[in-house]
Amino acid sequence: MELDKLKYELRGELKAGLNDEQRAEHKSELKNGLEDRLKLAEAMDEEQLRQVMSLYGNDIWNYIYYLTKNTEQADDLAQEVFVKCFYRIGTYRGTASLKGWLLTIARNTVFSYRKSRFFRTGLWGSGIQSLTAAGPEEQQGALEEAGQLLGTTRSAEMEYMGNQQTKDIWSVIMKLPDKLREVLVLDLKAELSINEIAELTGLPPGTVKSRLHRARRKVQDKLRGLQ
């Protein structure tokens, strides 16, 4: 499969996506057995790649977006993650979940991009996209993602946040320090356990718990201050 063709098809798949109901049904049909097949595979075909994307495409895009705060970067880097998945599936051995493996690739891809971007910025200068600089459609999409983030919460204290204006919630979450925002997104949006977040980030489980507690408290305090 040619790389340019793959990237073009991945962009279409990411743009199309599945709604939550479709994704839940699709997951129940595809997830069983898919990881077992892929952890023994030396290569994957295009249909298997589409199945992986239908299961985890939104999770990967959202995670990258919350790390970069940039929709165009999220589009480009999410494509890169699935290109890497396609060509590196032979390195997946099932020691972690497939989603965890993909999130690790996503995290490393973002960090590698940041390093290269640091040098590009130092040499040429570069603008940074912000939410306020985005167009109306991008702003609406970002706000919807914030609403979806809160819609998947599992902790009781986050119910308070669900009653707040989506715009306020979005603003608060995106202003969290990177280290707090990342673990909060992995907990709420990716629905990883404490141990899975620890394995992904390389942090001790106790540190993950501490950061989650601080992140939730900061969000709650900020939102109460807006009342």
Tokens linked to 68: 């970069």
6 has pLDDT over 60 = no
Cα(29)–Cα(33) distance, integer angstroms: 9
Residues 120-148: what's their mean pLDDT? 43
Looking at 43-177, list the stretches that DSSP marks H as alpha helix, in order from N- to C-terminal side: 46-68, 71-88, 98-124, 136-151, 159-162, 166-174
Q: How many helices (H) and strands (E) does the chain have?
A: 11, 0
Helix (H) or strand (E) holding 194, with range, is helix 194-201
Full-model pTM: 0.66
Q: Mind listing the pLDDT tens digit for each residue in 165-206?
A: 566 776 787 889 999 999 988 988 888 999 999 999 999 999
CB 203 within 8 A of CB 197: yes
